[in-house]
């Protein structure tokens, strides 16, 4: 390996200083000694892998710190070398890079999925501090994918799937186009070897069959550009295999139906020449409507810029053409790595660096809101969605969002507070539902209200990681606060049963209990009571330092008053749908808090063997919330009866939440089911009386369950 290393160091000396090469030689020797006796599954000495990774990075002209870290990237993971040792020998920045790439192998995880998620989280947070971490990791993954034939088929498929789900999209997000395409093709090869082989063979055959057409089109393009006075370099390009495979799968096409296997790329000197070339080509072949995209005026989120157009070529063959400048081409191929590769380039690179930095900062924000590694990984996968739509704020600022993003995603992209308080949206000056999917060019205006808050149902349709993590964080925080309030009420009731008042408990008693219970704060204990994870009576005894019931203790006096405004801490059972006026009982359900049931609910009957879960509750006389109740009507099957019933319900000041009618079966009568909103039993009774007056209503009953 020494000879191979020496040859590579000689190549790298073209852009690195002599002292950098000397440090790299030391790093190679250190890595070789650390990995001594270790071999890859292909049989090669293990040190050949870090050397190959460093060589991939050298092709991007990364600095000596990154190359040193690449040579050492596995020593912490696979040998006894520590971060301190690396820092002492090669400096703290190199040690931080190696630590960012290293897996958390010394921590025990419950499952491989949990370990994988936590490793991604660690790596991506290190990447947010220094983007070189992910460049090293991508080079590492690329070399592993190139040499994947040596591992077992199961492991091969798992690594290929992980690469396709995470690493290839990250490469795409950072604009590393050549690596992105190679990772996708290698993943296809190892995930579906038969499909890859058949597709590669078909493309090779098509290459010969279509060579004449491609040559003819290329000659025509060159002549047209020359006559238009545009100095350009034009070349034909073949789409990569995974791109063809994805198109076949998504559009249900056979290979013969995929006509745009070949595309054309035109590289010009400056931006005005891009548009002149576009006009010339539209004069040569007719453009296909709706197939033109201007990524120069509105660059992709990864900094990519080009004009894209699709033309009707000879023999009615669609021709995809990309037009870009030399600088745009460099960024398109090397992405964020072009910062090192072309340091003398123009200001567009600084724009790319800003966009990359903003994305990395958004990862930090998302991870701070995520409950665990798996949730963070889920948000990340959503954020790596490759396609995008471009929409405008009311002031004309352009925002890039994933395809399928809704108005709620837009609101959170503007600011978290806008998202949390949004109540409506105007898209192109028209009021639309918040779940409306946005399209390219939409002008979006969010309408907010001071006391509005996120709706849990938004999680069913938002697509961005930021929106999803913010909504979940808000709901968790709100759930915690509401549970803590309920827990305090339950604890006060339990203290009253012990003949004590909350004010009697000294701060020192609370501090001791919180410490003994392993909780972080008093609020956490109260929230646990509200969620049913701790029993109020037990907490009351322990915080008062009592072990046995005293002689003057009585069962919990009075009842917990239910106002209907407790939020998520108190839930109303869907099995019996209690409303004010119904006799009710509370069941403490672990993790859910208190669930309110009617006395005659079958669920309550089953829970009577566990009296500690049951609580006396009573309705507050002043409840202002509306409650859902279901009613069933048997009606004569006559024209207009549904309209009559709906009118009477509306007349009685009730909203209809849902309505269902049994299908027509030729009978004289039919069943109607309504879910309506009422304030209490008296309100329901008023509605029932009004409905009974309708001549077509034969029978009416309230439905529970």
Q: Is 224 exposed, middle or buried (0-12, 13-18, 19+ CB in 10 A)?
A: middle
pLDDT in tens, 106-127: 444 455 666 666 666 666 666 6
Looking at residue 271, its pLDDT comes to 93
Q: Average pLDDT of the chain?
A: 82
Q: 49: pLDDT confidence band, cut at 50, 70 and 90?
A: very high
Task: Give the count of beta carbons closer than 10 Å to the beta carbon of residue 152.
Answer: 9
Q: Are residues 631 and 615 both part of a single domain?
A: no
Mean pLDDT of 239-260: 81
Select from 169, 191, 213 the last residue of a domain.
191
Looking at residue 558, its pLDDT comes to 54
Q: Are residues 215 and 340 both part of a single domain?
A: yes
> Which range, of 312-316, 393-397, 597-601, averages the lowest pLDDT?
312-316
Q: Which range, 40-49, 112-121, 189-198, 527-536, is most confident? A: 189-198
Residue at 135 is within a domain: yes
Select from 138, 169, 191 the last residue of a domain.
191
Residue at 296 is within a domain: yes
Bridge partners, 672 (sequence order): 633, 661
CATH number of the domain where residue 642 is located: 3.30.70.260
Q: 313: pLDDT confidence band, cut at 50, 70 and 90?
A: confident
Select from 619, 651, 680 the last residue of a domain.
619
N residues, the chain: 705
Mean pLDDT of 128-138: 82
Looking at residue 106, its pLDDT comes to 42
Looking at residue 450, its pLDDT comes to 87
Which phi and psi angles does 161 have, rounded to 5°? -65, -45
Those residues with Cβ within 8 angstroms of residue 58's Cβ, 6 or more apart along the chain or in another chain = 8, 11, 12, 67
Q: What percent of the chain has pLDDT over 70?
A: 83
Q: CA-CA distance, 7 to 4, in Å (whole number)?
A: 5
Residue at 67 is within a domain: yes
For residue 365 the two structure tokens come to 């924000």
Residue at 130 is within a domain: yes
Residue at 664 is within a domain: yes
Nearest to 407 by CA among 425, 395, 385: 425
Q: Are residues 578 and 648 both part of a single domain?
A: no
Side-chain half-sphere CA neighbours of 83 within 13 A: 11
Nearest to 493 by CA among 455, 536, 436, 545: 536
Q: Is 78 a catalytic residue?
A: yes
Those residues with Cβ within 8 angstroms of residue 433's Cβ, 6 or more apart along the chain or in another chain = 407, 425
Q: CA-CA distance, 335 to 169, in Å (whole number)?
A: 13
| Three-class SS state of 323 | strand
Q: 555: pLDDT confidence band, cut at 50, 70 and 90?
A: very low
Q: Of residues 24 and 553, which shows the higher confidence score?
A: 24
pLDDT in tens, 347-406: 455 566 666 666 666 666 666 655 566 666 665 655 555 467 788 888 888 787 888 899
Those residues with Cβ within 8 angstroms of residue 111's Cβ, 6 or more apart along the chain or in another chain = none
Residue at 438 is within a domain: no
Is the pLDDT at 641 greater than 80, yes or no? yes
The reported pTM is 0.60
pLDDT in tens, 136-157: 989 999 999 999 888 888 889 9
Mean pLDDT of 227-234: 90
CB 624 within 8 A of CB 564: yes
Bridge partners, 259 (sequence order): none
Q: 551: pLDDT confidence band, cut at 50, 70 and 90?
A: very low
Q: 345: pLDDT confidence band, cut at 50, 70 and 90?
A: very low
Q: Please write down the long-range contacts of 20-27, taking CB distance under 8 Å and 24 or more positions apart.
A: 20/63, 20/64, 20/67, 23/64, 23/68, 23/90, 24/54, 24/64, 24/67, 24/68, 24/71, 26/89, 26/90, 27/67, 27/68, 27/71, 27/72, 27/90
Alpha-helical segments (H) within 192-307: 193-227, 241-251, 271-284
Q: Are residues 590 and 694 both part of a single domain?
A: no
Nearest to 431 by CA among 417, 412, 445, 448: 445
Q: Are residues 595 and 671 both part of a single domain?
A: no
Residue at 681 is within a domain: yes
Mean pLDDT of 586-599: 79
Catalytic residue among 25, 78, 365, 445: 78
Looking at residue 553, its pLDDT comes to 44
Q: CA-CA distance, 396 to 590, in Å (whole number)?
A: 50
For residue 659 the two structure tokens come to 């309505």
Q: Are residues 54 and 163 both part of a single domain?
A: yes
Q: Are residues 486 and 538 both part of a single domain?
A: yes
Nearest to 45 by CA among 9, 78, 22, 82: 78
Residue at 8 is within a domain: yes
Q: Are residues 27 and 171 both part of a single domain?
A: yes
Mean pLDDT of 82-102: 88
- Domains contained in the chain, number: 4
Helix (H) or strand (E) holding 157: helix 153-162
Looking at residue 266, its pLDDT comes to 93
Q: Are residues 213 and 245 both part of a single domain?
A: yes
Q: Are residues 159 and 263 both part of a single domain?
A: no
Q: Are residues 615 and 667 both part of a single domain?
A: no
Is the pLDDT at 342 greater than 60, yes or no? no
> Which range, of 182-186, 300-304, 500-504, 692-696, averages the lowest pLDDT?
300-304
Q: CA-CA distance, 224 to 230, in Å (whole number)?
A: 9
Domain holding 246, by residue range, is: 195-346
CATH number of the domain where residue 200 is located: 3.30.460.10
Q: Are residues 593 and 662 both part of a single domain?
A: no
pLDDT in tens, 693-704: 999 999 999 988
Catalytic residue among 25, 44, 63, 77: 77
Q: Is 140 a catalytic residue?
A: no
Helix (H) or strand (E) holding 264: strand 262-268
């Amino acid at each position: 390996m020494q000879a191979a290393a020496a040859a590579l160091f000689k190549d790298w000396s073209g852009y690195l200083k002599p002292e950098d090469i000397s440090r790299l030689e030391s790093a190679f020797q250190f890595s070789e000694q650390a990995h001594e006796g270790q071999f890859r599954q292909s049989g090669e000495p293990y040190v050949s892998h870090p050397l190959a990774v460093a060589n991939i990075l050298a092709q991007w002209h990364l600095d000596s710190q990154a190359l040193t870290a690449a040579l050492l990237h596995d020593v912490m993971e696979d040998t006894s070398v520590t971060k301190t040792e690396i820092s002492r020998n090669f400096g703290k920045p190199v040690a931080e890079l190696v630590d960012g790439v290293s897996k958390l192998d010394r921590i025990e995880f419950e499952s491989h999925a949990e370990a994988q998620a936590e490793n991604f989280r660690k790596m991506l947070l290190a990447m947010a501090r220094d983007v070189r971490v992910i460049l090293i990791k991508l080079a590492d993954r690329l070399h592993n994918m190139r040499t994947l034939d040596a591992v077992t088929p199961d492991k091969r498929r798992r690594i290929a799937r992980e690469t396709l789900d995470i690493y290839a999209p990250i490469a795409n997000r950072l604009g590393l186009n050549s690596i992105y395409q190679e990772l996708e093709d290698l993943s296809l090869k190892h995930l579906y070897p038969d499909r890859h082989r058949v597709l590669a063979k078909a493309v090779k055959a098509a290459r010969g069959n279509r060579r004449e057409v491609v040559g003819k089109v290329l000659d025509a393009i060159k002549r047209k550009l020359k006559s238009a006075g545009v100095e350009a370099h034009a070349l034909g390009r073949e789409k990569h295999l995974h791109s063809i495979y994805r198109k076949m799968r998504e559009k249900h096409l056979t290979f013969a139906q995929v006509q745009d296997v070949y595309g054309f790329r035109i590289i010009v000197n400056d931006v005005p020449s891009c548009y002149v070339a576009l006009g010339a080509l539209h004069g040569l072949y007719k453009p296909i409507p709706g197939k033109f995209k201007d990524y120069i005026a509105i660059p992709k989120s990864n900094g990519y810029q080009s004009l894209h157009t699709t033309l009707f070529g000879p023999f009615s063959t669609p021709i995809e053409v990309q037009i870009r400048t030399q600088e745009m081409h460099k960024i398109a191929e090397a992405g964020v790595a072009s910062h090192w590769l072309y340091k003398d380039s123009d200001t567009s690179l600084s724009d790319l660096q800003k966009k990359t930095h903003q994305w990395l900062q958004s990862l930090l924000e998302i991870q701070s809101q995520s409950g665990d590694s798996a949730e963070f990984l889920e948000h990340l996968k959503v954020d790596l969605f490759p396609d995008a739509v471009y929409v405008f704020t009311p002031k004309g600022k352009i925002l890039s969002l994933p395809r399928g993003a809704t108005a709620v995603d837009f609101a959170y992209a503007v600011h978290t507070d806008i998202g949390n308080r949004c109540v409506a949206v105007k898209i192109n000056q028209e009021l639309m539902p918040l779940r409306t999917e946005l399209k390219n060019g939409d002008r979006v205006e969010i309408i907010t209200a001071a006391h509005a808050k996120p709706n849990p149902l938004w999680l069913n349709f938002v697509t961005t990681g930021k929106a999803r993590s913010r909504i979940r964080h808000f709901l968790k925080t709100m759930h915690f606060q509401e549970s803590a309030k309920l827990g305090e009420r339950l604890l006060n009731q339990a203290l009253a049963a012990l003949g004590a008042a909350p004010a009697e408990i000294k701060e020192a008693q609370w501090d001791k209990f919180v410490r003994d219970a392993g909780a972080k704060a008093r609020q956490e204990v109260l929230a646990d009571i509200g969620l049913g994870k701790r029993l109020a009576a037990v907490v009351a005894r322990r915080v008062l330092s009592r072990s046995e019931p005293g002689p003057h203790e009585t069962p919990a006096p009075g009842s917990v008053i239910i106002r209907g405004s407790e939020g998520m801490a108190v839930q109303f059972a869907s099995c019996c749908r209690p409303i004010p006026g119904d006799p009710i009982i509370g069941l403490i359900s672990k993790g859910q808090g208190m669930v309110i049931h009617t006395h005659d609910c079958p669920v309550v009957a089953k829970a009577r063997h566990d009296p500690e879960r049951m609580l006396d509750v009573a309705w507050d006389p002043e409840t202002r919330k509306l409650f859902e109740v279901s009613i069933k009507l048997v009606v004569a099957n006559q024209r207009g009866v549904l309209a009559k019933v709906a009118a009477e319900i509306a007349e009685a000041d009730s909203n209809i939440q849902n309505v269902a009618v049994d299908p027509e079966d030729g009978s004289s009568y039919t069943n109607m089911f309504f879910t309506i909103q009422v304030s209490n039993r008296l309100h329901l009774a008023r509605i029932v009386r009004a409905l009974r007056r309708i001549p077509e209503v034969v029978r009416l009953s309230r439905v529970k369950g």
